[in-house]
């Protein structure tokens, strides 16, 4: 029987709805802990409440705390770890763990779109699916997985695509890597490249901006004046910006602030194709770093981790 640790961090999966007002909020008694024993047939399961936070309250410090608890769980002999988490920032925590963990046991992140006592609550169903994945030998050495709605996704590319729908976590372009059945998971593909970085602190400041038609230099200049360590921009199309932003981007690079471009389109990758004022080709030549399929929030997490790990500026481009 597999020894599995469930780490509860809060979120909708551990909240309840007030049927009079309709408000969803944390409760004094975490329903995950109360329900943990119903899955005892699946393994030797321990439920531990590490945090009780809504996902917008999760910061990089809590992400590091989860990472440390997982490393301790490996030392304690656990065969797999499931993390329950609020969905708003779930993908960022999952990707942070993907970049900072180098373990072979299954690490699975799950959550819920409906609170524990709502009609059609998906919390226990997702938790069961996560446990199926965490107890499967096939899940070893797969990296961090996000399991929602009977699908397994890689932490690197999964994203939340809907505000309320239970089928909201998707992987644009690639799709899920596996499907969860009644008592097993079937994998159809895997993440080809994995990377891990050893970090012990979260002191770097990396900001994220989103481009729009007619964008000027003001926001970029303002952000770069805050003594930041890095900047990620969700650029237009394959990696372009309005011409008025060009001088501000150059000023950031002259200050040795790494600037990373992703696309604000959720499908596809950035490319240095267009050779005009504000085109990606010229930004790339000026020193802007282009990503391969990462979202803005994921690229921010990656740049933060790379900087914390002490990756030299000249090596950042190849890491993306």
CATH number given to 206-317: 3.40.50.40
What is the pLDDT averaged over residues 279-292?
96
Tell me: the pLDDT tens digits for 83-117?
999 999 999 999 999 999 999 999 999 999 887 66
pLDDT > 70: percent of the chain: 91
Domain boundaries, the chain: 3-187, 206-317
pLDDT at 20 over 70: no
Between 48 and 29, the higher pLDDT residue: 48
* Half-sphere exposure at residue 166, Cβ-oriented, CA atoms within 13 angstroms: 15
Is position 55 annotated in a ligand binding site? yes
Is position 122 annotated in a ligand binding site? no
pLDDT at 316 over 70: yes
pLDDT at 2 over 90: yes
pLDDT at 118 over 70: no
What is the pLDDT averaged over residues 110-137?
87
Catalytic positions are 12, 87
pLDDT at 17 over 90: no
CATH architecture assignment, domain 3-187: 3-Layer(aba) Sandwich (3.40)
- Residue 205 burial (CB count, 10 A): 14
Is position 115 annotated in a ligand binding site? no
Which residues, including other chains, have CB under 8 Å from residue 192's CB and lie 6 or more apart?
none
pLDDT at 16 over 80: no
Domain 3-187 and domain 206-317, same fold? Reply is yes
């Amino acid at each position: 029987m597999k020894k599995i640790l469930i780490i509860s961090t809060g979120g909708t999966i551990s909240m309840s709805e007030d049927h009079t007002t309709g408000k969803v909020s944390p409760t004094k008694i975490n329903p995950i802990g109360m329900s943990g024993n119903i899955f005892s047939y699946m393994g030797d399961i321990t439920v531990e409440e590490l945090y009780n936070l809504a996902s917008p309250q999760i910061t990089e410090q809590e992400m590091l705390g989860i990472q440390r608890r997982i490393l301790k769980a490996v030392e304690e002999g656990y065969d797999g770890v499931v993390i329950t988490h609020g969905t708003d920032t779930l993908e960022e925590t999952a990707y942070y763990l993907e970049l900072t963990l180098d373990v072979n046991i299954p690490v699975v992140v799950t959550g819920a779109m409906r609170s524990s006592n709502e009609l059609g609550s998906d919390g226990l169903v997702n938790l069961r699916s996560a446990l199926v994945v965490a107890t499967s030998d096939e899940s070893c050495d797969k990296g961090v997985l996000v399991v929602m709605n009977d699908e397994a996704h890689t932490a690197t590319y999964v994203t939340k695509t809907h505000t309320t729908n239970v089928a909201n976590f998707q992987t644009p372009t690639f799709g899920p890597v596996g499907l969860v059945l009644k008592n097993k998971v079937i994998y159809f593909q895997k993440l080809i490249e994995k990377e891990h970085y050893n970090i012990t602190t979260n002191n770097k400041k990396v900001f994220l901006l989103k481009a729009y038609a007619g964008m000027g230099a003001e926001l970029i200049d303002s952000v770069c004046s805050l003594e930041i360590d890095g900047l990620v921009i969700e650029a237009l199309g394959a990696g372009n910006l309005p011409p008025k932003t060009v001088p501000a981007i150059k000023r950031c690079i002259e200050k040795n602030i790494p600037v990373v471009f992703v696309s604000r389109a959720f499908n596809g990758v950035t490319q240095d194709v267009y050779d005009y004022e504000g085109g990606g080709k010229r930004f790339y030549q000026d020193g802007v770093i282009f990503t391969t399929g990462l979202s803005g929030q994921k690229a921010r997490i990656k740049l933060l981790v790379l900087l914390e790990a002490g990756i030299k500026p000249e090596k950042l481009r190849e890491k993306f």
